[in-house]
Amino acid sequence: MASITLKLNNKNYTIEADPKMPLLWAIRDLAGLTGTKYGCGIAQCGACTVHLEGVPVRSCSVPVSSAANKNITTIEGLSTDNSTAVQRAWILEQVPQCGYCQSGQIMAASALLKRNPNPTDKDIDAAMQGHICRCGTYPRIRKAIKTAAQLMTQK
Amino acid sequence: METTSKNISRRNFIKLSGLTGTALTLGFSFSASANELDIWNAAAAESSGVELNAWISIDTNGKVTLLNHRSEMGQGSFQSVPQMIAEELEVALDQVNIIFAPGNGRKYGSQVTGGSSTIRGSYKKLLRLGASAREMLIETAAKKWGVNKSDCYAENGSVIHRASGKKFHYGELVTEAAKLEPPKDVVLKNPKDYKLIRKPLPRQDTPMKVNGKAVFGLDFKLPGMLYAVVERSPRFQGKVIKWDDTETKKVPGVKHVLKVTRDEFGNMREGVAVVADNTWAAMQGRKALKIEWDDTAFPHHSTEELYTKMRDQVKGEMISFRTMGNTTSAFAKAEKKVEATYETPYESHSCMEPLNCVANVTDDKIEIWGPIQGPDWIQQNICSHFKLPPEKVIVNMTFLGGGFGRKAFTDYPYEAVMISKEIKAPVQVIWTREDDMTIGPFRPGMVYQCKGAVTGNGRIGSFETKISGQNMDMQNPGADKTSYNGSDTEGFLEGYFESIPHYSFGDSPLDSPVPVMWWRSVYSSTNAFAFESFIDELAAQASKDPIDFRRQHLGERYQLLMNKLEQVTGWKERGKNTGYGVAITECFSSIVGEVVKVSKTADGKIKIDKVWAVMDCGWYVNPDIIKAQVEGSIVMALGAATKHETTFKDGKAVERNFDAYKMPRIQEIPEIEVHIMDNEEKAGGVGEPGLPPFTPALTNAIFDLTGTRIRRLPFSLDKTA
Amino acid sequence: MKTLFLLIALTITLVSFQKKPAFDLKASMTRGQEVYTTNCVSCHMEKGEGMEGVFPPLAKSNYLMADKKRSIVQIIKGVSGPIKVNGIEYNGEMAAIDLSDQEISDVLNYVRNSFGNKGAAVTPEEVKAARK
């Protein structure tokens, strides 16, 4: 066990954890932020995606010790009032059905648009391919990413 | 709209809805002993001792609180139920506050979210409920003004006197309206006047699903709650002989190790639970367990054995389900005939939210929270196991991260209750993805042997299907294994029964320890592939256009759907070098036709260019939710047709996670266009009926392009052309 | 230029003299890129750069290129415990990824011949052999 400081959404959380505990469980069970979801535990579904120093990573596959003192953003840290372009687009296009995978989808889409404000279909495929949605909201995810890109230019 | 996914007890609902005389609360009575009125004023019901199924309540501020008896697993009941109430009640949607009803079969009738039944099962009652409240409010206002009721109307949460423009807000009327008897007959609105129904209004649960605030089962926490994972027998009926938890107990955070059972169709399945103060510690502790299983009492089936048996069984005697005429002699005499065998795989539900459940057993009650499709079934199950009256077992629904039938099954809360009782603390049982994918129950795979004849004028002369597969109703101990499977014809168009002179459907149930259960659209999800592929084979044998061939057998409602399909797809003008396939299926009282267009890529693979769907679900509420459900159904069908299957080896499920059980991903999804028929037919289901026609439409399209028939699922689009 | 010429000559020779067609590395890499994008990219990143101290890089990775059999086994069985890649220690865990023999051969051919790497082809037969 080790004392580890997590910088989650610009707030410090000091937790006692096995250094090998995946960041996902530290965020959910120890820091108590449940927007980040468990889906597969082996980096194959994308539900647990958070930003580590701005880069989207699978929190199920990051040992908590290697995320210590680094800037982590979870879905709760995007905005609480749904004001980011991606969240607005997700509402406009009515993307979620069950909604469980959407935290991860939104984190991936946000990171994509940050580095590529005008993604092509191919760029969207590459960035979103690691994210599974069992409800099949994929057509709307694609549409919403394009809508978000437009919203960003209007700002 | 203010929403809460925190689940509440009946007492809290009453408090919240203000069921104290200062509010107008109307509900149903499902009790057969109650008199003929099935809509009751709460105050009157209480004084006559009628158990009321409280559904809506309007308080003195005019705020409407609605108790949703069905779970929200993505299908949109969270939106469509308030949309119906608000329409007849004449309030804006943001005046409606919705809360989930806790499980109580006696109060709410069946609460199982299954069979695409939320709307089709209760829409008339919901509309009447809204309309009754509206009429009582209008009556109260008219009395106060001393005017005729017919001179007043309701709009946007107020009653207005037409001539003078005088106005009462609902909140000002509820106290007196609550004293009235609900009207015996209310006139429902003409669909032409709908302001909310049939409009693509945005879902009220979307905002909380884009910022992490929606509480799913896995997100629910109680103070002092511990986390448990369970090592269950990897073979379906294995028993624990002994276990060694020496290493487990060394894992920091591990608190308890105990044997648990799980009620699977009345058979108690065994496992060993590891309870810890966080999920990961429990998982690590479980990895360190050494368990010896006794799995000698049942066969260890492999996929190969299962299908060999089914292929044998379709050649033998059938339990006859539905027959007309004599298919054997009709087939023997026919000049043009077709024979084909179709095979569909076992499938995992693989909801994105793995199974989980929180239980808190205290001295005086058991309370459960979780992603639950069937709260009333779970309540019954827990009551009977723990010998408690229903009021001591409270089952609360959170949001569901997918359900698809799996979460209607009562097994998983039982384990949580058992552990909480034993350790005397609240506990959450978490299934890992591997547990979720390998323990089952699964959608059963099936083998179909079809024989059909085409008459001289190119119609279907006879249609025979022999089915073998596991019957979901034959798993309980002592189940009658000689009765027919009443679901053998699910997915088949009702219209065919009226026009095919000779038909027969029979089945020969497969016996296996593999547990099986409903999977989105249930038997139709597999039957439709056989039926609609075979209709296409018969059409080809008759040298007829696949839509024209179907037209000869079907009545007006189907004709209109086919007209629409032809129109939106440009069916008659379809070009060469592409393949078009059609399939039409019917289940849960809805008819769906789908057309798939395919082409060949430069490197010889099949590419799905586009999918069109025409949904006829009769009366409907929210077209955008319907479109979303059909899109999602098509994607789920695409996965089962071309990407994944569950196989078995030596009595264990082989595919354990999404690396091996491959899901469709964004780059594989074709354009999908959904149309909805406008008519006044009875409301049909929406969440499932879009799934069955996709696969046969796809394989029929591939036949159109390549001349190759695909008769076994799943197949690879890369290796077909 | 000379090497390229030699390579082309060699390819032609192989194609014309062997009855059994040569292993089509290019086709394997194309399929492998798809596997990589679905199953690997989320940790090892688009250009195989990984993330320092968290996810080991594949690009110009001394560790990856040192032993192709080890790579096969690592996909089949997973990796845990400390490893040193390009001088930096990594102590995470990679889950075993359940892929077919061909998928493993394809994805290894992709990563072993992309991001500045150049390595011998991995055949499905080698993967099959490594499973024993």
Same domain, B630 and B494: yes
* pTM metric for this prediction: 0.92
Tokens linked to C103: 């998928």
Same domain, B484 and B360: no
- Provide the b/e sequence for C63-82 (b: ≥16 CB within 10 Å): bbbeebeebbbbbbeebeee
Say whether residue C76 is in contact with chain A using an 8 A CB cutoff: no
Q: Who contacts B591 (Cβ-Cβ below 8 Å, separation ≥6)?
A: B493, B557, B558, B561, B584, B585, B616, B684, B689
Q: How confident is the model at residue B171 (pLDDT cuts 50, 70, 90)?
A: very high
- Please report whether residue C40 resides in a domain: yes
- Please report whether residue B307 resides in a domain: no
Same domain, B459 and B372: no
Helices (H), A46-155: 75-78, 85-92, 102-115, 121-128, 138-154
| Neighboring chains of C (3 or more beta-carbon pairs < 8 A) | A, B
Strands (E), B167-253: 167-169, 226-232, 239-244
Same domain, B175 and B288: no
Least confident of B39-53, B162-176, B427-441: B39-53
CA distances from C113 to B545, C33, C109, C126 (A): 50, 11, 6, 17
Which pLDDT does position A89 carry in this prediction? 98
Residues of B in contact with C99 (CB under 8 A): 659-660
Pairing of strands B267-276, A49-52: unpaired
Report CB contact under 8 Å: B655, C38. no
Number of domains present in the structure of chain C:
1
For chain A, residues classed under CATH 3.10.20.30 are: 2-76
Percent of chain B with pLDDT over 90: 76
For the domain that residue C58 is a member of, what is the CATH number? 1.10.760.10
What is the average pLDDT across B285-302? 97
Which pLDDT does position B28 carry in this prediction? 64
Report CB contact under 8 Å: B660, C98. yes
Q: How far apart are CA B684 and CA B617, in angstroms?
A: 5
What is the average pLDDT across B580-584? 98
Q: How far apart are CA B641 and CA B566, in angstroms?
A: 24
Q: For B214-253, how does the pLDDT look when each residue is reduced to its tens digit (9 = 90+)?
A: 999 999 999 999 999 999 999 999 999 999 999 999 999 9
Residues of A in contact with C37 (CB under 8 A): 125-126, 129-130
Mutate which of B71, B406, B407, B666 to disrupt the A interface (most A C-beta within 10 Å)? B666
Q: How confident is the model at residue B167 (pLDDT cuts 50, 70, 90)?
A: very high
- Please report whether residue B306 resides in a domain: no
Which pLDDT does position B608 carry in this prediction? 98
Determine the angle formed by the axes of helices C25-39 and C101-112, rounding to 10 degrees: 100
Say whether residue C51 is in contact with chain A using an 8 A CB cutoff: yes
Query: Which of B430, B455, B472 finishes a domain?
Result: B430
Which residues on neighbouring strands pair with residue A16, listed in sequence order?
Answer: A3
Tokens linked to B497: 């029964």
Report CB contact under 8 Å: A1, B663. no
- Closest CB to A57 among C39, C51, C97: C51
Q: For B622-638, how does the pLDDT look when each residue is reduced to its tens digit (9 = 90+)?
A: 999 999 999 999 999 99
Same domain, B501 and B368: no
Work out the mean pLDDT of chain A and round it to a whole number. Answer: 97
Query: Which of B178, B209, B240 finishes a domain?
Result: B209
Instruction: Write down the ipTM of this complex.
Output: 0.98
Pairing of strands C88-90, C83-85: antiparallel
Say whether residue C98 is in contact with chain B using an 8 A CB cutoff: yes
Maximal CA-CA distance, chain C: 48
User: Is the model's pLDDT at B38 over the cut of 80?
Assistant: no
Q: For A88-144, how does the pLDDT look when each residue is reduced to its tens digit (9 = 90+)?
A: 999 999 999 999 999 999 999 999 999 999 999 999 999 999 999 999 999 999 999
Q: How far apart are CA B617 and CA B589, in angstroms?
A: 7
Q: How confident is the model at residue B496 (pLDDT cuts 50, 70, 90)?
A: very high
- Which run of H or E residues covers position B166? none
What is the average pLDDT across C85-92? 94
Determine the angle formed by the axes of helices A138-154 and A102-115, rounding to 10 degrees: 40
Say whether residue B519 is in contact with chain A using an 8 A CB cutoff: no
Which residue has 């025979």 as its token pair?
B464
- Which run of H or E residues covers position B551? helix B546-551
For chain A, residues classed under CATH 1.10.150.120 are: 85-154
Tokens linked to B22: 């200062």
| Terminal Cα-to-Cα distance of chain C (whole angstroms) | 42
- Please report whether residue B309 resides in a domain: no
What three-state secondary structure class fits B638? Answer: helix
Same domain, B579 and B618: yes
**CB of B465 closer than 8 Å to CB of B485:** no
Q: How far apart are CA C79 and CA C93, in angstroms?
A: 6
Closest-CA residue in chain A for B72? A98
User: Is the model's pLDDT at B686 over the cut of 50?
Assistant: yes
**CB of A2 closer than 8 Å to CB of A69:** no
Instruction: Name which residue leads in pLDDT, B410 or A36.
Output: A36
Which pLDDT does position B248 carry in this prediction? 98
Q: Which fold has domain A2-76?
A: Ubiquitin-like (UB roll) (3.10.20)
Number of domains present in the structure of chain B:
3
Burial of A92 (0-12, 13-18, 19+ CB in 10 A): middle
- Please report whether residue C8 resides in a domain: no
Q: What is the identity of the amino acid at A52?
A: L
Which pLDDT does position A80 carry in this prediction? 85
Neighbour tally for C24: CB within 10 Å: 12
Percent of chain B with pLDDT over 70: 89
In Å, how far is C96's CA from the nearest CA of chain B? Answer: 9
Residues of C in contact with B665 (CB under 8 A): 38
- Please report whether residue B4 resides in a domain: no
Range of the domain at B474: 314-347+442-719
Q: Who contacts B518 (Cβ-Cβ below 8 Å, separation ≥6)?
A: B114, B405, B406, B408, B443, B472
Which pLDDT does position B296 carry in this prediction? 95
What is the average pLDDT across C55-81? 96
Q: How far apart are CA A2 and CA A20, in angstroms?
A: 10
Report which of B444, B460, B483, B458 is spatially closest to residue B543, judged by C-alpha positions: B458
Same domain, B561 and B627: yes
What is the length of chain B?
Answer: 721
The yes or no reply on domain A85-154 and CATH 1.10.3720.10 is: no
- Please report whether residue B629 resides in a domain: yes
Tokens linked to B163: 């001539």
Q: How far apart are CA B219 and CA B399, in angstroms?
A: 10
Question: Is the preceding peptide bond at B299 cis, omega within 30 degrees of 0?
Answer: no
Which pLDDT does position B14 carry in this prediction? 45
Which pLDDT does position C8 carry in this prediction? 54
* Max avg pLDDT among B168-177, B392-401, B705-714: B705-714
Instruction: Name which residue leads in pLDDT, C18 or B82.
Output: B82
Tokens linked to C9: 């000559």
Same domain, B556 and B412: no
Our CA angle for A106, A32, A13, nearest 5°, is: 100
